[in-house]
Structure 1
Amino acid sequence: MRTFFSLLIVAGLWWSVSSCKKDSEVTPPQTNQNPTINQWIYEQMSSYYLWEDKMPKQAATNTSLNPEDYFSSLLYTYSATTNPQGDRFSFLSDDATALEGELNGESVTTGMQFRLFYRDNGNTSIAGQVLYVLKGSPADLAGFKRGDLFTRVNGQALTASNYSSLLFGTATAFTFTLGTVTGNSIDDSSVTRSVTAKSFQEDPVFLDSVYTVNSKKIGYLVYNQFISSPNSNNTSGEYDNHLRTIFGKFKSAGVSQLILDLRYNPGGSGTTAINLASLIVKYTGTKQVFYKEEYNSALNQYIQSRYGTDSFNSYFAQEGNNIGNQLSKVTILTSGWTASASELIINGLKPYMTVNLIGETTYGKNVGSTTLTDDTGKIKYALQPIIVKVYNSVGQSDYTAGFLPNIVVSEPLMLQALGSTAEPMLKTALLGAVMGGRAEAGPSTVGSSLERKGIFGKLIMTEKNTLLKTFSKEKTAKNIN
């Protein structure tokens, strides 16, 4: 099968200082450069954009706009009420190098992921809570751990009006005042911890273990981003091979059930998604489609005319450490941050085996984008337009509202360590359904470090190939419609 991209389905994970730059903070180029830059933007969008047929004609656009506004003017506008199938995800970046690093799990970060919620009935005061910390990161070295609460940053109490600037501004040095639970309230303590963000590489495998429950071996994997390799050596396949090693351990242990914890996984490399899915799927002995791709009309025709219909299919690989045929049960733990490649795993496995979901409704991301840069290097912007929609082997792609869990379990205020058999989601998966189909209840979040990542919720295809470059040049030269 001919692969046109290495598929990356990414919803940004880390509290990354570099990725928190707001659109208003992007310095536009000189006005007299705008028409040239915007001409390039239009050419790329008219070639690749999934909703190319919804774009305004070039003559009707205002090329004197700054590139951010011009790019926005081309998009197929999303509306929850009037156009729920519109574009929620395309964006423009002013730093392609930083974006590439984030896609490979490296960013300027504290290494601490947290959620935010109100701590008063007036919805004014806010508390933060650590969800997990990367081993060896600045936050880890400062003593942060899962469940820690904080109420102040650099001496200022967190409120609805200031939390964004305090946590997601330009600062890299932070002093957190920890909070304590007293009855039904969260109060300030006298304990502070200081941490400075730095460039840090994430290992996507957070935890793996094998449990024995009622004489059954159950494999458990906490997997937090689909990354094939570290950014410093992005062709090594180091992290993919780590997954293979873990499933080799599961296979040797004779696991008959698998719990895949994707509650904090926003996506990542499509190649890695194929790798992971291929370690789980039940093999039938024939070629099995993992997902199918659909582009805009002109690009669909171009690809099909040169490589045939099968070119739109991505297949499961034959993995030696596959455990699918020894599995009686697959459970995936989910949350509202479970997105893109994680949802691709769910959707792609469903035609071949029963996949049970425990947790909360997933994010809802069934379309993908690609990183487009100027080959001459004269234009410093990078585009990230949606260019593809994905389906499973039976043509299903109906999860823009997310996948609903079989059993709803929210994370409570008092968090247990990940991997602990007392942790509510894992406990439910290990021991079975709960009365009423719902377990635990937690605070309603008003934000999180996850959502501030510039690439959160993006299905990203980062490796352009000669085919697409050729298509773009031909379309521009010949005015292909």
Structure 2
Amino acid sequence: MKNSILNVWGVKQGVLLIGLLVAVAGCKKADDAVTPQSTTTSTNDNQTVDAWILDNMQTYYYWNDKIPANPDKTLAPSDFFNSILNTYNATTNPEGDRFSWIEESATDLTSSLSGESKTTGMEFALYLRASGSTDVIAQVLYVLPNSPAASAGLKRGDIITKVNGQGVTTTNYQSLLFDDSVTNYTFGLATVSNQSIVDSNVTKTVTATVFQANPVYLDSIYTVGSKKIGYLVYNQFVPAPNGSNGSEYDNQVDAVFAQFKAAGVNELVLDLRYNPGGYTSSSANLASLIGKGVDDSKLYFRENWNSTITPALQKQYGSDFFLQKFSTKAQNIGGNLNRLYVLTTDRTASASELIINGLRPYMTVNTIGTTTYGKNVGSITITDDTGKINWGMQPIVFRSYNSLGQSDYSAGFTPTVEVEEPITLYPLGDVRDALLNEALYQIAGTAASGRHSATAVRNPLPELGSSIQQKMRGGLMVKNIKISHP
């Protein structure tokens, strides 16, 4: 059989692994890849695609025992895919699936999992302009360096109220901000005055382009008294740019920790507030740089797949297929750490939550911010590499457990210290930033900026979601391995 590319992503119900590209036969880029059966037809008619979907889902889907016996294979592929899912329901099926998805373009799916997409280069949160209002604002969370948004002068904290001359509302924000056919944007900006949004005459014009995001966003070292505090903003678990079989981004993370070690860093703040997950291999790489007393003999996490595929995988690959060990890393700073601080929001998902859960057995992990997304299940990306079928799907295929057998965060990790991001945002890395400020206070017992963030005014606006959640379906955790369809 031909091999397919599979991805594994994190999920909110359990830890869904963010589906980054997975190629089974030892592709060092994600975690594991599975090779689904290829079709021998040359058409993309509904029945052909639906049969391909059903065959692979019956083999790999975590809840394959819940697939209907006689699904309607005349449905459009996306409708058919949704019709066979073990759909989540808070009342009747709280352990169901919230995170599997399918896309018409497998190429677009795999590119996005490696951080490449058509984008303006900024991520934003959406809020109602006021409680009870139908007007919506988009607040910029961060801007990628060298992106179109950066070139236009947009920055963290900017507030957008108009797009191409139209006021943003609950009925049009989807079409104004998330329509892939739109390339040119003119954003109308507003300011904050006494916690109220005030329109201005300032506009920024941006043209969306295909852009590769570097997930290693920012690193710093702060000295507070006797504390040397390392700080890393890491926005997606991606080992390398799209199209690369290397580990360029993982190597950058290694280099950051080499600097931390050389500087004598003895406290660490890991900023994952906007990280929806990614490749489990990159998650393991980062954890291996942080964990206290970890090496390649210690278990980071294990996977539980369905009862149909488990025996076949074990026979073909051995029991180690289901185990992700730490790596022995010369840049590891765990020997100087007694604890870890992780900055979190509800956009912290999947492979990010895997860091928290996987390191809990080895060191104290404190979280600062708001409750994480809650994704403890993983998915793989399934594509047909014969080119006969263009679709790509990202079904949930496993649940993850740490070395103590814990997988108890389907509702997210409640923060050790709760801090909400206010409506006025400081640059990431600025010690006045509410979450970082609190972390420095917890570590050193004094506010680095002279003002403790716990006194910050909370954002009073009701949140509608974010561009991060929109693109990543909530969260990603990806395993990179190619597997032959049994």
Q: Structure 2 CA distance, aligned partners of 1:280 and 1:208?
A: 15
Q: 2:202 aligns with which of 185, 191, 203?
A: 191
* Structure 1 match to 2:469: 451
Q: Report deviation, 1:8.
A: 5.0
Q: Is the 8 A contact 2:295 2:329 kept in 1?
A: no
Q: Report deviation, 1:6.
A: 7.5
Q: 2:57 aligns with which of 36, 45, 48?
A: 45
Q: Structure 2 CA distance, aligned partners of 1:171 and 1:102?
A: 18
Question: SS state of the match for residue 193, structure 1?
Answer: strand
* Structure 2 match to 1:21: none
The answer to whether 1:149 aligns with 2:138 is no
Question: SS state of the match for residue 484, structure 2?
Answer: helix
For 1:399-430, what per-residue CA distance to the aligned partner results, in whole angstroms no more than 9, with x for missing partners? 11111100000100111111111111111101
Q: Report deviation, 1:176.
A: 0.8
* Structure 2 match to 1:107: 117
Q: Report deviation, 1:376.
A: 2.7
Alignment of structure 1 residues 283-362 onto 2, 5 Å = 283=293, 287-362=297-372
% identity of equivalent residues: 50
The answer to whether 1:212 aligns with 2:223 is yes
Q: Is the 8 A contact 1:152 1:177 kept in 2?
A: yes
> Which letter does structure 1 place at the counterpart of 2:223?
T
Change (3 A) 1:126 1:5: closer
Task: For structure 2, list consecutive stretches of 5 or more residues without a partner in the other structure.
Answer: 11-16, 21-41
Q: Is the 8 A contact 1:365 1:457 kept in 2?
A: yes
Alignment of structure 1 residues 363-382 onto 2, 5 Å = 363-382=373-392
Q: 1:257 aligns with which of 259, 263, 267?
A: 267
For 1:25-63, what per-residue CA distance to the aligned partner results, in whole angstroms no more than 9, with x for missing partners? xxxxx9992222211111111110100111112xx2211
Question: SS state of the match for residue 426, structure 1?
Answer: helix
For 1:341-381, what per-residue CA distance to the aligned partner results, in whole angstroms no more than 9, with x for missing partners? 10011000000100000001001111111111224321111
The answer to whether 1:83 aligns with 2:100 is no
Q: What is the TM-score with the length of structure 2 in the denominator?
A: 0.87
Question: SS state of the match for residue 211, structure 1?
Answer: strand
* Structure 1 match to 2:29: none
Q: 1:441 aligns with which of 444, 458, 480?
A: 458
Change (3 A) 1:32 1:135: closer
Change (3 A) 1:12 1:134: farther
Q: 2:48 aligns with which of 31, 36, 39?
A: 36
> Which letter does structure 2 place at the counterpart of 1:469?
S
Q: Report deviation, 1:460.
A: 3.3
Q: What is the TM-score with the length of structure 1 in the denominator?
A: 0.88
Q: Is the 8 A contact 1:409 1:440 kept in 2?
A: no
Q: Report deviation, 1:201.
A: 0.8
Q: Structure 2 CA distance, aligned partners of 1:335 and 1:129?
A: 15
Question: SS state of the match for residue 137, structure 2?
Answer: strand
Change (3 A) 1:311 1:447: closer
Determine which structure has the larger helix proportion and give its number: 1
Q: Is the 8 A contact 2:7 2:379 kept in 1?
A: no
For 1:165-222, what per-residue CA distance to the aligned partner results, in whole angstroms no more than 9, with x for missing partners? 1111231111111102233421211111110100111111111011011221010001
Change (3 A) 1:285 1:154: closer
Q: Structure 1 CA distance, aligned partners of 2:261 and 2:237?
A: 21
Aligned residue pairs: how many? Answer: 447
Alignment of structure 1 residues 114-263 onto 2, 5 Å = 114-169=124-179, 170-232=181-243, 234-263=244-273
* Structure 1 match to 2:402: 392
